[in-house]
């Protein structure tokens, strides 16, 4: 592969859109304007299961300014819609909070007031919302996200576990976790005179969203345009089209005017996806020297009755450590709940929490340092696929982190270090995430002495604009100031979403190729276009992953159960770091979410009402600045020639992957108590310490 010259790539360039954002010039989905604009407000179901018997909208329609009340009785038919996007297509209620009606009014205040006046009568049915390992309706899905085998087995796992000299057999539980990006999900839809649809949407991918929306409405893809120049976070929740986008388009067609819809913070807990709760049993068998002879990872998780989503929780266990006997499985139960979906590092995040916790328990059982145990089980090729790794520097990350963290000074015995009321401990965990890329189209053209590069990428706050500008600048051999990047618009061609840690690799390949083509192959031309489909289809077969290690120090108050985190360190191997400034933010952001997963975040379900009761940022706690004293992220210098022309691996998700396990391992080291249920709430810790 041709590599870019190291000019702008590798520089800590400030965000190119920084001024727009701090001055408020950057427009997000709900902030776009349109003539003759009206607003829609959602009427949510107040039962967890049943049917809508009757809707009385008379009081709402009598309110001045109300234009329409949409429901299953009068909404446009969407014959090609299914799952969560079959909006207002039947009287069925599949979960509490589902959209059963919507009010359209000429002011948002009127729409919200009218929404309260819509009276809905239901025929309620018995509901089931609780995940259990012994649920009678567990089943095996055909595949797990995004298409992995559901179950795998190699060797004689049961026999190896029986004959192993040291074994671990433990079960871990994680609750539902909820994406809470700063920008709520919102859409503005308008229909043209030609029957075309334009939507300003809070989406992680304008091109994929266009395809989905066109299918729902039975349109050709070219008749739909999705625009998302700025997106205020997503974490996976904006990776697929959500119901509010369909509602905006339905309402706009019904009233013949552009319609805005914004999902409230509370409604986001129902309508925008979440990480499924899991029950994970991990069994490990090892020789006295620590070499694994067997790994077994069995997962139970939930989906909805509306649409199947199977998180690939155990998939990471298939490739991380060498063991001749391996088995993984996933089982689902369809409950009367909203459909789970992607949340930062889906699968790897909860799966590695269980695996890395079990590895720590095995290290203790073997009286072996947990870093040394991981090193002794380092594979020389991908245990699952048999492919060589394009690069694998997990051991380097572990050793570099141990040196930086002062691991050698650690007393391996749990509950031995104390300062007054505070019990002090340290923990470690490994992390990994696939390094993928997908085809993209891109256009580059001359604009006087400057250049314009167009690609339907999405910047969800990660710095995509900036790093792609750097890639273009190096390929064109000009300063970044001479590049104007256009993105966030489906009219710019096909491009993958910002997700799966593949954005920079996918878009960057196309940007590099098109800029290179413009100046070296078309010197007399004003414009060049590329499509990287053929290049990516022909790429060599390697197992491509980023790796890392997280180190944590905790202090646990023996009287109150309070947990403090003085230090959190991450060391990563992620290929070429295009921009150290934005990369560090990504790593630290991921680790902060992992800290929240371990200590704070939890969707608390009321089984009687069938809903999450702490559905706001007052009750759903996320980490803040005061929750960790010192947090740092660094990386090793890794060159991997088998990735893409930039040599980069994704960094948006690997930061969260190992952090929760590192925290809980540190808490065990501090207290001598093993917690296997997240989060480590104060009441649970205090009860265990009593």
Query: Residue 6 pLDDT > 60, yes or no?
Result: no
Query: Residue 4 pLDDT > 50, yes or no?
Result: no
Contact (Cβ atoms closer than 8 angstroms) between residue 86 and residue 78: yes
Average pLDDT on 504-520 reads 96
pLDDT of residue 7: 82
* Rounded Cα gap, residues 244 and 358, in angstroms: 41
Residue 429 bridge partners (DSSP) = 550
339-395 pLDDT, tens digit per residue, is 999 999 999 999 999 999 999 999 999 999 999 999 999 999 999 999 999 999 999
* Rounded Cα gap, residues 131 and 133, in angstroms: 7
DSSP code per residue over 298-310? EEEEEEESSS---
What rounded mean pLDDT belongs to the chain? 96
Q: Please, which residues have CB within 8 angstroms of residue 357's CB and are 6 or more apart in sequence? A: 170, 172, 282, 429, 661, 664, 665, 676
Residue 105 bridge partners (DSSP) = 39, 66
Contact (Cβ atoms closer than 8 angstroms) between residue 226 and residue 219: no
pLDDT of residue 2: 41
39-65 pLDDT, tens digit per residue, is 999 999 999 999 999 999 999 999 999
Contact (Cβ atoms closer than 8 angstroms) between residue 87 and residue 250: yes
* Rounded Cα gap, residues 436 and 455, in angstroms: 18
Residue 529 bridge partners (DSSP) = 443
> Catalytic residue numbers?
653
* Rounded Cα gap, residues 504 and 458, in angstroms: 10
Residue 100: alpha-carbon gap to chain centroid: 28
pLDDT band at 523 (very low <50, low <70, confident <90, very high): low
* Rounded Cα gap, residues 150 and 145, in angstroms: 9
pLDDT of residue 427: 98
pLDDT of residue 521: 74
Average pLDDT on 519-536 reads 88
| Tokens encoding 6 | 């190291």
pLDDT band at 626 (very low <50, low <70, confident <90, very high): confident
pLDDT band at 520 (very low <50, low <70, confident <90, very high): confident
Question: Phi/psi class of residue 233: alpha, beta or left (left: φ > 0; alpha: ψ in -120 to 50)?
Answer: left
Query: Residue 572 pLDDT > 80, yes or no?
Result: yes
pLDDT band at 3 (very low <50, low <70, confident <90, very high): very low
235-251 pLDDT, tens digit per residue, is 999 999 999 999 999 99
Name the least confident of 10-24, 318-332, 519-533, 590-604: 519-533
pLDDT of residue 522: 64
128-139 pLDDT, tens digit per residue, is 999 999 999 999
Q: Please, which residues have CB within 8 angstroms of residue 323's CB and are 6 or more apart in sequence? A: 292, 293, 294, 295, 377, 383
| Residues above pLDDT 70, as percent of the chain | 99
pLDDT of residue 621: 95
* Rounded Cα gap, residues 106 and 114, in angstroms: 11
pLDDT of residue 495: 98
pLDDT of residue 80: 87
* Rounded Cα gap, residues 42 and 258, in angstroms: 16
pLDDT of residue 79: 87
Number of residues assigned to the chain:
690
How many degrees, rounded to 5, is the angle at CA 197 between CA 193 and CA 200? 130
End-to-end CA distance of the chain: 60
Average pLDDT on 139-168 reads 97
């Amino acid at each position: 592969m041709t590599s870019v010259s190291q000019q702008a790539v590798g520089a800590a360039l400030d965000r190119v859109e920084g001024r727009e954002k701090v001055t408020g010039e950057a427009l997000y989905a709900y902030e776009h304007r349109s003539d003759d604009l009206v607003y829609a407000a959602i009427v949510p179901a107040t039962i967890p299961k049943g049917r809508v018997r009757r809707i009385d909208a008379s009081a709402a329609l009598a309110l001045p300014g109300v234009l329409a009340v949409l429901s299953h009785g009068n909404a446009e038919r969407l014959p090609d819609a299914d799952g969560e996007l079959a909006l207002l297509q039947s009287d069925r209620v599949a979960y509490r909070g589902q959209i059963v009606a919507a009010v359209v009014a000429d002011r948002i205040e009127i729409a919200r007031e009218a929404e309260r006046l819509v009276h809905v009568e239901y025929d309620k049915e018995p509901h089931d919302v609780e995940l259990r390992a012994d649920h009678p309706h567990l089943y095996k899905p055909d595949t797990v996200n995004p298409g992995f085998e559901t179950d795998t087995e190699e060797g004689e796992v049961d026999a190896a576990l029986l004959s192993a000299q040291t074994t671990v057999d433990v079960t871990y539980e994680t609750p539902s976790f909820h994406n809470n990006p700063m920008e709520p999900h919102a859409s503005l839809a308008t229909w043209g005179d030609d029957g075309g649809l334009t939507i300003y949407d809070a989406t992680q991918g304008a091109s994929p969203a266009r395809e989905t929306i066109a299918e729902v409405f039975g349109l050709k893809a070219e008749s739909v345009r999705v625009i998302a120049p700025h997106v205020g976070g997503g974490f996976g929740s904006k990776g697929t089209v959500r119901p509010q986008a369909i509602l905006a388009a339905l309402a706009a067609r019904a009233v013949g005017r552009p319609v805005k819809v914004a999902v409230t913070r509370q409604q986001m807990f129902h309508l925008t996806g979440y990480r499924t709760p899991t029950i994970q049993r991990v069994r490990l068998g090892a020789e006295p020297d620590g070499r694994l002879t067997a790994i077994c990872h069995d997962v139970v998780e939930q989906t909805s009755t509306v649409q199947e989503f199977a998180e690939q929780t155990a998939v990471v266990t298939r490739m991380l450590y060498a063991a001749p006997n391996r088995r993984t499985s996933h089982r689902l139960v369809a409950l009367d709940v909203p459909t789970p979906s992607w949340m930062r590092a889906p699968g790897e995040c909860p799966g590695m929490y269980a695996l890395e916790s079990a590895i720590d328990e095995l290290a203790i059982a073997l009286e072996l340092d947990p870093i040394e145990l991981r090193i002794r089980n380092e594979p020389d090729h991908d245990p699952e696929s048999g492919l060589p790794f394009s690069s694998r520097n997990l051991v380097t990350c572990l050793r570099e982190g141990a040196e930086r963290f002062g691991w050698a000074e650690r007393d391996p015995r749990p509950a031995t270090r104390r300062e007054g009321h505070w019990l002090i401990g340290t923990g470690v965990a490994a992390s990994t995430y696939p390094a993928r890329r997908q085809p993209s189209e891109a256009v580059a053209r001359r604009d006087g002495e400057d250049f314009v590069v167009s690609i339907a990428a999405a910047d969800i706050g990660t710095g995509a604009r900036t790093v792609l500008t750097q890639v273009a600048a190096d390929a064109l051999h000009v300063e970044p100031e001479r590049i104007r990047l256009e993105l966030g618009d489906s009219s710019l061609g096909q491009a993958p979403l910002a997700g799966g840690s593949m954005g920079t690799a996918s878009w960057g390949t196309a940007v590099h190729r098109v800029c290179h083509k413009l100046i070296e192959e078309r010197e007399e031309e004003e414009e060049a276009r590329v499509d990287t489909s053929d290049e990516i289809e022909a790429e060599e077969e390697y197992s491509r992953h980023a790796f890392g290690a997280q180190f944590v120090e905790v202090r646990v108050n023996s009287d109150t159960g309070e947990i403090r985190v003085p230090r959190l360190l991450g060391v990563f191997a992620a290929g070429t770091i295009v921009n150290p400034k934005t990369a560090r933010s990504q790593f630290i952001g991921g680790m902060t979410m992992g800290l929240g997963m371990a200590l704070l975040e939890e969707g608390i379900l009321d089984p009687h009402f069938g809903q999450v009761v702490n559905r706001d940022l007052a009750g759903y706690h996320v980490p803040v600045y005061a929750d960790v004293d010192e947090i740092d992220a660094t990386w090793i210098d890794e060159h991997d020639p088998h990735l893409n022309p930039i040599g980069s691996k994704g960094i948006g998700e690997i930061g969260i992957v190992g952090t929760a396990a590192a925290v809980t391992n540190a808490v065990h080291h501090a207290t001598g108590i093993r917690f296997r249920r997240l989060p480590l709430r104060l009441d649970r810790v205090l009860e265990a310490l009593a």
